Amino acid sequence: MDSGIGLLAAAAAVRGLRPDADLVLSQDPDGMPWGPRTPEGVTERALAVARAAAEHAPDALIVACNTATVHALPALRAALEPAIPVIGTVPAIKPAAVAGGPIAIWATPATTGSPYQRDLIGRFAGAVDVAEVPCPGLADAVDHADDEAIDRAVAAAAARTPRDTRAVVLGCTHYELVAERIRDAIGTPVALHGSAGAVAAQALRRIGAAPAPGATASGTLTVLLSGRASALPDRALRYAEGRGLQPLATGADFGG
């Protein structure tokens, strides 16, 4: 679940580990963007999106959204667990810091400087130099597949990133969809750290399922847009992660 197509990175990662897994992608086009909302507003929208997914009785729910994880994870777990394990998305600060700094954390303005992010920095990156880089408009541009807006937002964030940065943490799931454009804009060799792979692996662990990347690609795809059954939005197909899910559409449950 996510406000928009930021969930594609996690969905693609799950698909890579378990091609036979049935996926439900629950998004909220009626309520996005979530970033400018109050914590209470984010929680309200996230609960609605999660409950729409829960109607399909999933084995687990991945909260593929940093903003929802920051503000709504306790409420989501209270509403759905233990029947449905809920897995949040945490910025990959720890693995980025292990390799040594300096590191930069690209995130939405709401997350940048938040107590949540500062706590993660203190726990996992206290020994390295960390630059928090707000990226206004980038998540929204990615969600709309607006190439010009993406380029402007990426260029602005790259200009705010210290030149000696060795690693960049992608602190919003949307950013993983444009990782190579971010790398190109920074212009110096830099490691990028997203969360999708770790979140997918954690989801499998929570339900006791082993990775089976060689399994037959038999999983189905169900898409929910603010609770309504739909096809994968056209803008999702602008990204490799979305196109990788599209061939499954022949077996998907899109409703009436």
For the chain, give every domain's residue range.
Answer: 5-89+197-251, 93-194
Q: Name the active-site residue from 65, 73, 105, 135.
A: 65
User: Catalytic residue at 172?
Assistant: yes
User: Catalytic residue at 135?
Assistant: no
pLDDT digits (tens, 9 = 90+) for 47-89: 999 999 999 999 999 999 988 998 899 999 999 999 999 999 9
Q: Provide the pLDDT for residue 252.
A: 43
- Domain 93-194 CATH class label: alpha beta
- Identical fold, 5-89+197-251 and 93-194: yes
Q: Provide the pLDDT for residue 250.
A: 43
Q: What average pLDDT does this structure show over 121-129?
A: 94
Q: Provide the pLDDT for residue 67.
A: 87
Tell me how many degrees the CA angle 213-2-176 measures, rounded to the nearest 5. Answer: 60
Q: Provide the pLDDT for residue 247.
A: 62
Q: Provide the pLDDT for residue 217.
A: 87
Q: Name the active-site residue from 17, 75, 97, 172.
A: 172
- Contact yes or no for 107/91 (Cβ under 8 A): yes
How would you write the chain as a 3-class SS string?
A: CCCCHHHHHHHHHHHHHCCCCCEEEEECCCCCCCCCCCHHHHHHHHHHHHHHHHCCCCCCEECCCHHHHHHHHHHHHHHHCCCCCEECCCCCHHHHHHCCCCEEEEECCCCCCCHHHHHHHHHHCCCCCEEEEECCCHHHHHHCCCHHHHHHHHHHHHHCCCCCCCEEEECCHHHHHHHHHHHHHHCCCCEEECCHHHHHHHHHHHCCCCCCCCCCCCCCEEEEECCEEECCCHHHHHCHHHHHHHHHHHHCCCCC
Tell me how many degrees the CA angle 12-4-1 measures, rounded to the nearest 5. Answer: 60
pLDDT digits (tens, 9 = 90+) for 93-119: 999 999 888 999 999 887 888 888 999
The CATH code for residues 5-89+197-251 is 3.40.50.1860
Q: Is the pLDDT of residue 255 over 60?
A: no
Q: Provide the pLDDT for residue 137.
A: 93
Backbone angles phi, psi at 194, to 5 degrees: -100, 180
More confident residue, 246 or 162: 162
pLDDT digits (tens, 9 = 90+) for 144-153: 999 999 999 9
Q: Provide the pLDDT for residue 113.
A: 84
Q: Is the pLDDT of residue 5 over 50?
A: yes
